[in-house]
A and B are shown apart, each in its own frame.
Chain A
């Protein structure tokens, strides 16, 4: 075929659906010349996850594919060049930059724009919409100088925009909704009330039944005035009052459009002109605009199939959704609103925990019609599948919303009951059968593999838990047992090894290897076993020094050049002038570099191995002890100054931080553990970025868990509210011990919690409600560790045999390593470059 024989498909719009259309068409055929025009300056990106742009994702991270992809597929891509005119008689299009082109088929994927109501003052500076990366750039820039933010519209996108404003650091964020409830299209009034109270407890101000009459201010926005004569001062406003299909081009070309907007299409996605199609948010099918990405992808599939002479029709689409709004799960599926006499509803409400669940059931009790889940939407995927596949309900349908907690068996049985045709990933149209056969026939073992294999889970991501369940169930059914073994020498996961070592009362690495392993061990399993032994028995670790990781072996962190660092514990960051002086004197005497660390204490760098015991002897004499900066152990509990000095302090955060640091000092864990205690919500101790964080409230303390700094920072999640100190310590005991016993090695609490099935709700159930019945044991095990605390450096300093281990040359113990050398910088030493 010569190039002239190719028919030309022109795609107008390079958004999510326009892109997906190209991808689907090119996967089916190479018989077309494809030309794409996009109005935005960048190639298609994932609008669904747009808000992640504020959480550190770059435009590149969000893009649907790299530019090379278009080149590889010979797609002629014109960015920043919108189509201005369609000439239907000549079958040509004309772009803003003057490109004119003939088409055989035209695909309109122009999406929609944010609807901006006609309120006086919308043109002022400080008023934004939330649709494109450029919008977000503008908002981010403007928000720097703003204190109070508001969002017009309490629908799904409005609440997402509100979350963005909170994340951008607004002191106050308001949501203004015209309707009497939040998310009026998805959830019922009772659900909305629950969602509202949850969001308010998180600091959002919600105003319902509010009609905005004007926007106040000069050139810039100063506030909002409402029809009920009230007003609100705001510095920034994001309008999220709905979407308007972009049908202007189609209208101009005389294509049929709806009275309230949208390009009218039939089941084949054909417009009133048979060679022009419309797909995505600009298409009006059967009187409806589908404002979600999954139906848009289905429309793309319908057109791609037709151009290849296939048969496929669009006949409407399920609009179920599940989202996390400001940390609160919200889901709506099937028909959320049907009521008696057409159906019966079962409602579960727990206003204490902020959970609302409603399911609508057919009058004969056989089928699930739809429902709403607020606060806990773990059951969403299964419920949705139950609706979509007309699965006959069990005799007690209330179990669907009450009995699902944490039971692996119930979840498993649920997945198994789905028919093979059940659509699991609606974005990519992957069925249960596709997933199971990928596991069985193509040996796909995990979600990552599945994503590569058939794209399941790559769209909105909502189906990932179900995909994971299905993979695991199928692997199990095929007799494959998946586990995460320590290394080639131990055929166990860390948790199993922990239990076995405890059960067999094993005290040394060699015995562990003899009884439970094979070969001679290695640098992976030695530290793992060392950590398990320390967590179980808390013996002096340097008695088995050759199995310790390099830093544990010498109770100090090795530095560039081969010297070591010395970090004494300074609990809560509090230190007396006398102790400061001692640190200064020791540093001077041994020529050490001193620096305040990020953990509120002082690090002395550049010690020779041989000097370590002498240095520590002096520090211990002055009342210091090891800071365990070298161990996978408790590091620091950071504090703010709290109520003893600070005018906002609610309680004494320093004393509590010291108490907690001293309680857990020296305790070894799968990874290091850090804590923080703040005296009020201003959070100067950054407690929410720690493995555990404690924040004073009017009534007591809030306890957060699973935060992390590092390369993937993540905020801790709230475990308990307004508890007293004793309860806080009790929960901490249980939480830390549970982590120590069950996490994989080198897994921080954040990752451990992220991987935990059921997440924070499951953890709460274990720690607070004792759902596993193990709390008494966890507390006893923690007590044993707390009571067997010893300063590791004191053990060494007092023991000549152990001291001997700290020499560089075994045959010249007094001599230091001549290779350890320093330069100077700002009046201190620094390690020589390597």
Chain B
């Protein structure tokens, strides 16, 4: 996957590909930060967002179901608590609320998964 990344990014190794279930997510710890990493294997794509759901401040997005919506097949994740959904590309809330997730670039080399931290 081609991601255009600002130069200042530092690539941090977080886990191996088999740690994250196919078409699902897992949570990784980077310092004190929790990041949700998604292995969208159906599309051969990887995404990462903050693990915190902005709705009720719950650390759960990695446990949400992923999927796509609309004509453009926008990839998304649904929070397990109240099923608010967020774009995995932009982090924008797709269910009409004013929330936005922080997203991170992901790089996979061999079976190593890296996340770009600013």
Within 8 A of A (CB), among B49-97: 56-60, 63-70, 73, 75-76, 78, 80-81, 83, 85
Surface stretch bound by B, among A238-246, A757-765, A810-818: A810-818
Given A523-B67, A526-B67, A553-B63; A811-B15 close (CB under 8 Å): yes
B58 and A523 contacting across the interface, CB-CB below 8 Å: no
Closest residue of chain A to B63 (Cβ to Cβ) is A550
Given A558-B81, A562-B58, A809-B28; A522-B76 close (CB under 8 Å): yes
Size class of the B contact interface (CB-based, 8 Å): 35 or more
Cβ contacts under 8 Å, B80 to chain A = 549-550, 553, 558
A546 and B22 contacting across the interface, CB-CB below 8 Å: yes
Q: Does A834 contact B (CB under 8 A)?
A: yes
CA A310 – CA B19 in complex, angstroms? 80
Cβ contacts under 8 Å, B14 to chain A = 811
CA A395 – CA B45 in complex, angstroms? 69
From the candidates A521, A546, A562, A812, name the one contacting B29 in the complex (CB within 8 A).
A812
Cβ contacts under 8 Å, A808 to chain B = 27
Q: Which residues of B contact A (CB under 8 A)?
A: 14-15, 19-29, 34, 37, 40, 42-43, 56-60, 63-70, 73, 75-76, 78, 80-81, 83, 85
Closest residue of chain A to B38 (Cβ to Cβ) is A546
B60 and A558 contacting across the interface, CB-CB below 8 Å: yes
The 16 sampled A-B contact pairs (Cβ below 8 Å) are A489-B67, A513-B42, A521-B68, A522-B68, A522-B78, A523-B65, A523-B67, A523-B78, A547-B23, A549-B65, A550-B80, A553-B63, A553-B80, A808-B27, A809-B29, A815-B29
CB distance from B44 to the nearest CB of A (A): 11
B75 and A520 contacting across the interface, CB-CB below 8 Å: yes
* A-B CB proximity, top 4 nearest: A546-B24, A550-B80, A522-B67, A523-B78
From the candidates B27, B60, B68, B81, name the one contacting A519 in the complex (CB within 8 A).
B68
CB distance from B33 to the nearest CB of A (A): 11
Given A522-B68, A546-B23, A811-B19; A554-B73 close (CB under 8 Å): no
CA A523 – CA B26 in complex, angstroms? 17
Cβ contacts under 8 Å, A805 to chain B = 21
Closest residue of chain A to B23 (Cβ to Cβ) is A546
A526 and B21 contacting across the interface, CB-CB below 8 Å: no
CA A558 – CA B64 in complex, angstroms? 12
CB distance from A812 to the nearest CB of B (A): 5
Q: Does A561 contact B (CB under 8 A)?
A: yes
Closest residue of chain A to B76 (Cβ to Cβ) is A522
Within 8 A of B (CB), among A514-551: 519-523, 525-527, 545-547, 549-550
Given A520-B75, A550-B80; A545-B21 close (CB under 8 Å): yes
Cβ contacts under 8 Å, B81 to chain A = 550, 558
Considering residues A489, A553, A810, A817, which has the most beta carbons from chain B within 10 angstroms of its beta carbon? Answer: A810
CA A820 – CA B34 in complex, angstroms? 13
Considering residues A510, A560, A562, A812, which has the most beta carbons from chain B within 10 angstroms of its beta carbon? Answer: A562
B67 and A520 contacting across the interface, CB-CB below 8 Å: yes
CB distance from A758 to the nearest CB of B (A): 35
Cβ contacts under 8 Å, A521 to chain B = 23, 42, 67-68
Q: Does A76 contact B (CB under 8 A)?
A: no
Closest residue of chain B to A547 (Cβ to Cβ) is B65
CA A660 – CA B56 in complex, angstroms? 40
Given A520-B67, A526-B67; A546-B28 close (CB under 8 Å): no
